[in-house]
């Protein structure tokens, strides 16, 4: 049940109404008011009796109903406990709704004979042997004199699975003999899964908190209510009085697609300062997303007994686990934040099976690194987020 799955513990309203308590009450009622002289009317309530067997299902059901009334029913009505359609109903009362899944999109280059027409709906897909994600051309075009044309494509299926790195969309699904190759020079972005209960709950709690007309918190609420936006960093007065910079990110902290940026811009402030969107009159809102900074990590790691990097001699392999712990840290830092060596070390030694670390360092574009080896993620004018690149691990001792 949703309440049982929660990391918190909801105090039941009827903690004493278990089967034993209910049975004792029923047994007392069965012979209530009878005396020893009423022996012919006395009901045998002992285990194994007909009365005992016949009443057991009713007693069990009564205990179950007390449990539901004391846990599930109040839980469904409270933001911090609610789930599914019940949470949707609470959100509706706050003028919010669960964000739907969205489609990834981006640019694919078609290479082929000059004059070849690429129509809307032509399909391409991720290569690599296994069945890959498929995309369809949104607006067609004609290959020009250079032998190539860049066209916008959109994932056929909804969801984050449609997001793909650069140079992965290499398969032409539709039959066009004059097309020799397809490829995406940049990542395809913007795909997101339906909003989870936890993400919607967080937005509901923010909406319930004290807010005003156009506060920093308001902009965050508005931005995160737009499909495809999972997080938002808001920087007021970034370019002078009345200006607001909204940095839209995915739920994982990565950049959103250009379509999401332009859509959110129109939703918040289609005409600068005119009050035609959610932003109040006089507020000039600029919506951007963040470019990624590749962060490579180099570390020497000492393992406890029974653990190793790659599972040698029957030990438990930790390379992938450590990498994921580091990735979870780096890729959740918002623009304006700092990637620190100490916190990377904390993620490494916090992995069960790791006993210590030696030297730990990061490499990234020089302009982002500080003298202490940490990395600053710019917030403006060009917002940045971290993207874990290579991880070079060496086994200790340290």
Per-residue model confidence as pLDDT tens digits over 86-107:
999 999 998 899 999 999 999 9
Residue in the block written with tokens 């609610």 = 82
- State mean pLDDT over 12-41: 88
Confidence of residue 352 (pLDDT cuts 50, 70, 90): very high
39-58 residue pLDDT tens = 788 899 999 999 999 999 99
Q: How far apart are CA 46 and CA 49, in angstroms?
A: 6
Which phi-psi region, left, alpha or beta, contains residue 322 (left: φ > 0; alpha: ψ -120 to 50)?
alpha
Confidence of residue 7 (pLDDT cuts 50, 70, 90): very low
Q: Report whether pLDDT(390) > 70.
A: yes
Token representation of residue 286: 């600029």
- Would you state the structure tokens that stand for residue 129, as one six-digit string? 């042997």
> Is residue 396 predicted with pLDDT exceeding 90?
no
The predicted structure's pLDDT at residue 212: 67
Helices (H), the chain: 2-5, 19-30, 50-67, 73-76, 84-93, 197-208, 216-224, 258-268, 319-330, 341-349
Question: What gap in Å lies between CA 304 and CA 384, rounded to an integer?
Answer: 37
Using a pLDDT cut of 70, give the percent of the chain over it. Answer: 96
User: pTM score > 0.85 for this model?
Assistant: no
pLDDT at 36: 80
Among candidate residues 207, 269, 210, 218, the one with its CA nearest the CA of residue 243: 269
What CATH code is assigned to 212-289? 3.30.300
Note the pLDDT of residue 296: 94
Q: Would you kindly state where each structural domain of the chain is located, as residue ranges?
A: 2-76, 105-183, 212-289, 291-395
pLDDT tens sequence across 302-331? 999 999 999 999 999 999 999 999 999 998
Q: Output the pLDDT for position 1.
A: 44
> Cα separation of 190 and 231, whole Å?
13
Residues 252-310 pLDDT 10s: 778 888 899 999 999 999 999 999 999 999 999 999 999 888 899 999 999 999 999 99
Give every CB contact of residue 173 below 8 A, 6+ residues apart in sequence: 122, 123, 124, 125, 134
Residue 388 DSSP class? E
Name the phi and psi angles at 336, rounded to 5.
95, -10
Question: What rounded mean pLDDT belongs to the chain?
Answer: 90
User: For residue 3, what pLDDT is reported?
Assistant: 54
């Amino acid at each position: 049940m949703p309440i049982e799955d929660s990391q918190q513990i909801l105090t039941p309203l009827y903690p004493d109404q278990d089967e034993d308590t209910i049975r004792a009450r029923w047994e007392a009622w069965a012979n209530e008011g009878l005396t020893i002289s009423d022996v012919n009317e006395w009901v045998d309530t002992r285990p194994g009796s007909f009365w005992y067997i016949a009443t057991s299902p009713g007693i069990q059901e009564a205990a179950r109903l007390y449990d539901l009334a004391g846990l599930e029913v109040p839980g469904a009505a409270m933001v911090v406990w609610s789930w599914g359609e019940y949470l949707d109903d609470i959100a509706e009362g706050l003028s919010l709704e669960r964000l739907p899944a969205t489609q990834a999109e981006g640019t694919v280059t078609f290479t082929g004979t000059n004059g070849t027409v690429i129509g809307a709906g032509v399909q391409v897909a991720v290569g690599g042997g296994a069945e890959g994600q498929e995309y369809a051309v949104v607006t067609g075009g004609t290959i020009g004199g250079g032998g190539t044309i860049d066209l916008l494509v959109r994932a056929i299926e909804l969801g984050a699975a449609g997001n793909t790195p650069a140079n992965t969309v290499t398969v032409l699904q539709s039959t066009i003999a004059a097309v020799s190759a397809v490829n995406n020079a940049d990542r395809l972005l913007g795909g997101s899964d339906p909003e989870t209960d936890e993400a919607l709950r967080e937005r509901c709690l923010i909406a319930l908190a004290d807010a005003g007309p156009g506060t920093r918190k308001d902009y965050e609420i508005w931005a995160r209510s737009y499909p495809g936006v999972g997080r938002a960093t808001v920087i007021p007065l970034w370019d002078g009085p009345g200006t607001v910079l909204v940095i839209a990110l995915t739920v994982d902290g990565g950049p959103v697609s250009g379509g999401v940026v332009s859509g959110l811009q129109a939703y918040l402030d289609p005409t600068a300062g005119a009050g035609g969107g959610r932003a109040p009159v006089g507020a000039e809102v600029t919506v951007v997303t963040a470019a990624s900074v590749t962060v490579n990590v180099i570390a020497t790691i000492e393992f406890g007994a029974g653990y190793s990097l790659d599972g040698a001699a029957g030990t438990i392999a930790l390379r992938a686990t450590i990498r994921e712990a580091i990735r979870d840290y780096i890729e959740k830092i918002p623009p304006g934040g700092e990637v620190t060596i100490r916190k990377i070390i904390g993620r490494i030694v916090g992995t069960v099976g790791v006993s210590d670390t030696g030297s730990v360092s990061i490499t990234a574009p020089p302009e982002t690194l500080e003298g202490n080896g940490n990395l600053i993620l710019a917030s403006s004018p060009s917002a940045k987020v971290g993207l874990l690149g290579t991880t070079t691990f060496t086994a200790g001792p340290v």
